[in-house]
Amino acid sequence: MAITRDEVRKVAALARLRLEPAEEERLTADLDHILDAFAKLRVLDTTGVPPARALAEPATPLRDDEVLNPPADDAVLANAPAREGRHFRVPKIIE
Amino acid sequence: MSAQMEAVIGLEVHAELLTRSKIFCGCSAGFGAPPNTNVCPVCLGMPGVLPVLNRRVVEFAIRAGLATGCAVAPSSIFARKNYFYPDIPKGYQISQYELPICAGGHIDVVTEAGTKRVGLTRIHMEEDTGKNVHDAHAADSLVDFNRSGVPLLEIVSEPDLRTPADAGAYLRTLRSILQYLEVCDGNMEEGSFRCDANVSVRPRGQKELGTKVEIKNMNSFRAVERALVHEIARQEQALADGERIVQETRLWDADREETRSMRSKESAHDYRYFPDPDLLPLVVDPAWIAEIRRTMPELPADRRDRFEREHGLSAYDADVLTQRKDVADYFEAGVGAGAPAKDMANWTMTEILRIVRDEKLDEALVIRSWPIGPTQLAKLIQLVATGAVNRNTAKGLLPRLRGTDLDPEELVRREGLAQVSDRGALEAAVRDVIARCPDQVAQIRAGKEKVMGFLVGQVMKATGGKANAQMVQDLLRAALAESS
Amino acid sequence: MSALHDLSLRDAAMRVRRREVSAVELTRATLARIAATEPQVGAYLTVCGDEALAAAAAIDRRVAAGEDVGRLAGVPIALKDIICTAGVRTTAGSRILERFVPPYDATVTARLRNAGAVIVGKLNCDEFAMGSSTENSGVGTTRNPWDGTRVPGGSSGGSAAAVAARSCFGALGTDTGGSIRLPAAYCSVVGLKPTYGRVSRYGVMAYASSLDQVGPLARDVADAAVLFDAIAGHDAKDSTSSPRPSRALAGSLEGGVRGLRLGMPREYFVEGMQPDVERAVREAVRVLETAGASVESVSLPHSEYAIATYYLIATAEASSNLARYDGVRYGLRVAKPGSSVGEMYAGTRAAGLGAEVKRRIMLGTYALSAGYYDAYYLKALQVRTLIAQDFTKALAGCDALVAPIAPTTAFRLGEKTADPLTMYLSDIFTISVNLAGLPGMSVPCGFDGDGLPIGLQLIGKPFDEATLLRVAAAYEGSTEWRQRGPRL
């Protein structure tokens, strides 16, 4: 087995995806099937091959330290599912 | 702590950088704006947005690295730290993981047991998160993203510290360095300088480290020291009771004075770090590093040495005057305005700093309301040096000058406080006092030297305190010698 | 006199500039065509008629005042709904963004507007660009205009279908593993995926950051070039956008192919290809030879690892890119009264994200997770280097490569949804191009026995879109495929 149901459960928790039991079962089968198909990748000899990182230019561009954005108006909150004045509102966060 | 055990402490400091704009977008990084105003689609993590790196953040990171003897990586990588929390808008924080910008430096800390070298594992750049506010509505929390994207330096020490007091000294030293470098204002109470600790205990002499516990939620230097004391005691006790130390994160509860285990719903975080594909490697060329080194603000240790060398101060005086950057700046401003270095040092340490301490003005991060400005003090010092006023008068002028930008010379002239050095006037005063105080005159002639002080005092009183004290002494002696 | 909507994009723009037709007339004609074709095609998720007419009227005023309004003067263009348009709903084909209205334009949107284009609507796509048929859209269903029982391809299915149906003069799509080229081939339109970094990704909802690119879909090669010119070039807001200067290509398509060397990757002509597809592609290559190109066989030895490499890298990046869809700041939120933050996350993402997206997030999360990072993600990055090196070697002796786009023509709706791997294999000829960051094009090259379109793939050297457009133009000029349109 390339992946177990228990691992699927753990991964779903990491990704904040709540799965119904049927979904969990199907996903386990799907992922197992897919990872199996990828098995030959794992055994390909890649000794000394650098991981591909940047495709475009080799160095990240830098910008000047200037405040370019004016204070935000209401537009940034317009899509908020819940708000309180200028705050985003969420269920209580328990530390 | 029992003699057989020793504590091993490593500290992780997050320092908010004094840039104008955020690390990955052009929003203001300033403090105190109304909620969700210093925000934009980028730092709110809206769909399709992308980060662009602020050059000054890199410059500040390199400054901090050079100041602490780190190696600066010619190429470093930004990585995504993936986790879910309402205050991290993208569901990941852009940080650095495998290849940070600086590594392998140290900070020398003065402790009771002498100077201790504390290694730095790494310094890296990352973005700050937003802030959760727990609402009056008990059922909800409120989130403000003004702080999201503010640049942070994470500074990680080696586990080289052994006592809570040393930890406190390390933090103070690190903060001083960052303040001197002008990269961070070091305000722990306001959150621009945060500290987490990793602490374990082990039998003295053992090479392996004990299980380490992470301590968070310490909001002042004092809290760090107290939390460490408590946690070390807790671990010692637990081991003595035959328990094993659990590797976990504990929060310092300042009210209850104890560390509490974080009852978190999930198991240990798997952050799934990987290089951020929206940012290419950060390449720093040697020419830029050299330029930063050349234009860097002076470090505390260097400034102290320079004060000894250039201003001829004693090691002790130089040390006192450079412990705080604002005090060092004050001193040099005075010297720059013409005060002789030794006098400026003297006046600053005895008069100025005394008032500052008494009035607790040094509890502020930067002293703003000095008893008197450095230029004014310099002027005052010069007036004494030229004999225009005597030292006592000058001292008395300090409260009068406070809060004003009056020229001391002007004040002296206006109020007629100028030292009286007119021989004729003083001779008259002296003669007058001698005539009025025959008993004391007789005592002096009989050998009681101490009574001279009384006569000098009388002359000073008669001249409204303005007489040139030395001259009065000389004239009295001459007059007494005459008529014997 | 053919209808307005039958004009090429270039002709339409020229007529507006010459005041032979107004932008408003063009827009009205497009809106009418949309209304007429949408019941069959379903390409559009949002039609912004009012905004488009207002923009068109503004263009007309400026044209009347003698201003130069740009190369796309007054021409109605539509955008894949993964590209942000300020003030207009942008869903990425997902229920989780069904009501999301961005307050900002993507850079490509702004550039189109600056060139005078009229944004007439937002086009359906696979949810978050994950898919090869547009069947993964959570918001709408798009059918192939050539055969309504079949898929238009994906993930930019709406873009290809709308261009084929002539319900816009051109469209933008995105291509991460073939999502412009495949639907272009299935719908018989021209599609161009630029070199990675040639076009800004700012404001384009990210699927896989190191693979995504925005590109044009259009009725012919010259139209595609005009659209490409309007959007290409460095953007300071995208750190991965190339600072290399971009020169206008629309005027330099003529060169022909005499003396050009074309490579045919032997790994791309495999068993299992639909015979009509192979026939059409080989015939297209013969046409190019007749026109003066020389053709030789090349090898891309690591091709067999491409699917695994792509699906590990793309899903890993996607699992991170989609974490922001959590119900906190925008989009869908599912939170019963009294629920915790954790329940809000779980409920929101369960309800808002579709099955394929969940599958890919799971795969990507797994590939990055502790203990598996080296075996999967890091390994895939290494193989990516090998695949890119294959192309560099193959292109060292050629000016471009020619290949099929897909092993088959458009399949039926529902035919491949049972097994995700089967669907993934549709991308087999296109994904390596994204892994190598190269430019790729699809140009129509015939039809199969059922009248379904077939596309020819051209793959070029980095930043050499010019050669691709030139070869494509030469091929297009030698054939009649451009003249055929679906019956709607």
Q: Which of C197, C243, C358 sits opposite A55 (nearest CB)?
A: C197
Residue A65 has which token pair? Answer: 């330290």
pLDDT mean across residues, chain A = 91
pLDDT score for B263: 60
* Residue C150 backbone phi and psi in degrees, to 5: -115, 160
Query: How many other C-beta atoms lie within 10 A of the C-beta of residue A23?
Result: 17
Has residue A68 been placed in a domain? no
* 8 Å CB contact between B479 and B434: yes
pLDDT score for C312: 96
Residue B46 with chain C: CB contacts under 8 Å: 102, 104, 324, 329-330
B282 with A60: Cβ contact below 8 A:
yes
**CA separation, residue B123 to residues B71, B76, B94, B108, C328 (Å):** 10, 11, 15, 16, 32
**Highest-scoring range by mean pLDDT, B181-190, B411-420, C376-385:** C376-385
CA distance B111 to C393: 63
CA distance B63 to B293: 7
Residue A92 with chain B: CB contacts under 8 Å: 134-135, 138-141
Three-class SS state of B80 = strand
Query: How many other C-beta atoms lie within 10 A of the C-beta of residue C188?
Result: 29
Q: Suggest the residue from B27, B84, B264, B283 to mutate for an interface test with chain C (most C CBs closer than 10 A).
A: B84
pLDDT score for B266: 45
Query: Which subunits count as partners of chain A given 3+ CB pairs below 8 Å?
Result: B, C
pLDDT score for C461: 97
Q: Which of B48, B53, B90 sits opposite C202 (nearest CB)?
A: B48
Burial of B147-163, coded b for 16+ CB within 10 Å and e otherwise, reads bbbbbbbbbbbbbbbbb
Q: Which of A69, A86, A89 sits opposite B26 (nearest CB)?
A: A69
Residue A75 with chain B: CB contacts under 8 Å: none
Query: How many other C-beta atoms lie within 10 A of the C-beta of residue B184?
Result: 25
Q: What DSSP line would sit under B268-280, residue for residue?
A: S-----EE-TTSP
pLDDT mean across residues, chain B = 90
CA distance B192 to C251: 56
Q: Which of B26, B41, B53 sits opposite A62 (nearest CB)?
A: B53
* 8 Å CB contact between C191 and C153: no
Q: Mark out chain B residues that contact chain C at CB-CB < 8 A.
A: 41, 44-53, 80, 82, 84, 86, 89-92, 139, 141, 143, 265, 270, 272, 274, 277-280
Looking at residues B38-53, what average pLDDT do you find? 98
C383 with A78: Cβ contact below 8 A:
no
How far B227 CA sits from the closest chain A CA (Å)? 19
A87 with B41: Cβ contact below 8 A:
no
Q: Which of B52, B144, B279 sits opposite A63 (nearest CB)?
A: B52
How far A18 CA sits from the closest chain B CA (Å)? 14
pLDDT score for C265: 97
Looking at residues B335-346, what average pLDDT do you find? 94
**Highest-scoring range by mean pLDDT, A27-41, B441-455, C209-223:** C209-223
pLDDT score for B265: 43
| Domains in chain B: ranges and CATH | 5-287 (no CATH), 298-414 (no CATH), 423-482 (1.10.10.410)
Burial of B378-416, coded b for 16+ CB within 10 Å and e otherwise, reads bbbbbbbeeebbbeebbeebbeebeeeebebeebbeeee
pLDDT score for C470: 97
Three-class SS state of B189 = coil
* 8 Å CB contact between B391 and B343: no
| pLDDT exceeds 90 at position B58 | yes
Lowest mean pLDDT among B123-132, B451-460, C74-83: B451-460
pLDDT score for C366: 96
Looking at residues B210-234, what average pLDDT do you find? 94
* Nearest chain A alpha carbon to C332: A81
Instruction: State the distance between the two ends of chain B, measured CA to CA, in whole angstroms.
Output: 75
A7 with C311: Cβ contact below 8 A:
no
Has residue A63 been placed in a domain? no
Q: Which structural domain, as residue segments, surrounds residue A9?
A: 1-46
Has residue A90 been placed in a domain? no
B51 with C329: Cβ contact below 8 A:
no
Q: Which of A3, A11, A41 sits opposite C308 (nearest CB)?
A: A41
Q: How confident is the model at residue A54 (pLDDT cuts 50, 70, 90)?
A: low
pTM score: 0.90
Q: Suggest the residue from A4, A7, A9, A17 to mutate for an interface test with chain C (most C CBs closer than 10 A).
A: A17
Residue B277 with chain C: CB contacts under 8 Å: 208-210, 240, 317
| pLDDT exceeds 70 at position B483 | no
Overall number of domains in chain A: 1
Determine whether domain C4-260 maps to CATH 3.20.20.100: no
pLDDT score for B163: 95
Residue B82 with chain C: CB contacts under 8 Å: 319-320, 323, 368
Q: Write out the catalytic residue numbers of C.
A: 80, 155, 179
ipTM field: 0.96
Determine the angle formed by the axes of helices C221-231 and C9-17, rounding to 10 degrees.
Answer: 70
Query: Which subunits count as partners of chain B given 3+ CB pairs below 8 Å?
Result: A, C
Q: What is the CATH number of the domain that holds A18?
A: 1.10.20.60
Lowest mean pLDDT among B213-227, B258-272, B369-383: B258-272
Has residue A20 been placed in a domain? yes
CA distance C440 to C429: 11
List the alpha helices (DSSP H) in B207-258. Answer: 221-240
| Segments of chain C with pLDDT less than 70 | 1-2
pLDDT score for A55: 59
CA distance C163 to C369: 41
| Beta-strand runs (E) in B342-384 | none
pLDDT score for A56: 55
Residue C147 has which token pair? Answer: 């055969």
A17 with C358: Cβ contact below 8 A:
yes
CA distance C90 to C113: 17
Instruction: State the distance between the two ends of chain C, measured CA to CA, in whole angstroms.
Output: 18
Lowest mean pLDDT among A40-49, B109-118, B199-208: B109-118
Domain residue ranges of chain C, discontinuous segments joined by +:
4-260, 304-383
C382 with A50: Cβ contact below 8 A:
yes
A37 with C331: Cβ contact below 8 A:
no
pLDDT score for B137: 65
Residue B24 with chain C: CB contacts under 8 Å: none
Q: Suggest the residue from B17, B19, B21, B43 to mutate for an interface test with chain A (most A CBs closer than 10 A).
A: B21
Residue C326 with chain A: CB contacts under 8 Å: 16
A72 with B55: Cβ contact below 8 A:
no
Under DSSP, the state recorded for B458 is H
Has residue A74 been placed in a domain? no
Residue C236 with chain B: CB contacts under 8 Å: 52
pLDDT score for B268: 62
How far C101 CA sits from the closest chain A CA (Å)? 7
Q: How confident is the model at residue B360 (pLDDT cuts 50, 70, 90)?
A: confident
How far B123 CA sits from the closest chain C CA (Å)? 23
**Of residues B474 and C49, more confidently modeled:** C49
